[in-house]
Structure 1
Amino acid sequence: MRVSRRLIAASLFATGAALFAFQSLVLATEDRPKASRVPPAEVVGEPVSCINLAQIRGSQVRDNRTIDFMMAGGKVYRNELPQQCGNLGFDRSFTYSTSLTQLCNVDIITVVQNVGGGLQRGASCGLGMFTPVKLVKQPKKR
């Protein structure tokens, strides 16, 4: 009986040491700065509080806080949400509801999550101001 207790104790000690070492590796990885998925942009006008729904041609979620709205005529409006919006950058899709013909900084978006092959509502977050920008083309990495 003593032998098996020693083996169990040794096994638990080895497992704990391995987990401790793994935790250090994970923490070291988290300290590295992550490459931003938000492309650089040049501000080309004053921020506005609303954009016309009929002019929106698409949107691109950049991260948990940044959405670029592509408009008719090639305009782009960047919306920096006032707060991080949970899983927005991961799921990269959202929905909104408005009774107006405009999407405004007082409106709320809701993250759409793909869970088990079905769609589910996620976090709801407020929009910020819409800033007209020109996306800066970056040289391709080799």
Structure 2
Amino acid sequence: MRTLILTIAAIAIAAPVAARDQAAPAAIPAGPPVDCIQLNQIRETHVRSDQVIDFEMSGKRVYRNTLDGACPSLGLEERFSYSASTGQLCSTDLITVLQSTGGRGATCGLGKFQPVTLAK
């Protein structure tokens, strides 16, 4: 009985991690990449991995940002913060991974924002 409980607990813990490790949905470019997006247009973000974030904008537009390099724990935590002095988030800006323990993780540079159509 004890082994069964431990096995179920291990599966329950592993399931969310496995879900996070799935590949980002295929994306078809829908125009040339841009350097900046308007902050007030961002409706939701989807962290796809340590290097890919999809920004869902008003009007159902999606911009995929592929970071300059892998950002440690971004895909695991799926949370980040940024500081922007203008009304835009730009490829020159930095994001910081927010850890579930309340701490701050790696700080990483954004890439260009590629407008995309996501595969269903």
TM-score by length of 2: 0.81
Identify the residue that residue 136 of structure 1 maps to in structure 2.
119
Classify the secondary structure of the residue corresponding to 1:110.
strand
- Which structure has more relative contact order (CA 8 Å, sep 6+)? It is 2
Structure number, greater radius of gyration: 1
Mapping of 1:1-142 within 5 angstroms? 36-115=22-101, 119-137=102-120
Amino acid at match of 2:34: V
What is the percent sequence identity of the aligned residues? 50
CA distance in 1, matches of 2:117, 2:61: 8
Give the aligned CA root-mean-square deviation in angstroms: 0.9
Question: Structure 2: 5+ residue runs without aligned partners?
Answer: 1-20
Classify the secondary structure of the residue corresponding to 1:58.
strand
TM-score by length of 1: 0.69
- Which one has a larger percent helix, Structure 1 or Structure 2? 1
**What number of residue pairs does the alignment pair up?**
100
Deviations for 1:62-82, whole angstroms, at most 9, x for unmatched residues?
000000000000000000001
Identify the residue that residue 16 of structure 1 maps to in structure 2.
none
Classify the secondary structure of the residue corresponding to 2:92.
coil
Amino acid at match of 2:52: T
CA distance in 1, matches of 2:53, 2:96: 13
CA distance in 2, matches of 1:68, 1:125: 16
> Which ranges of 4 or more aligned residues in structure 1 deviate by more than 2 Å?
none
Question: Structure 1: 5+ residue runs without aligned partners?
Answer: 1-34, 138-142
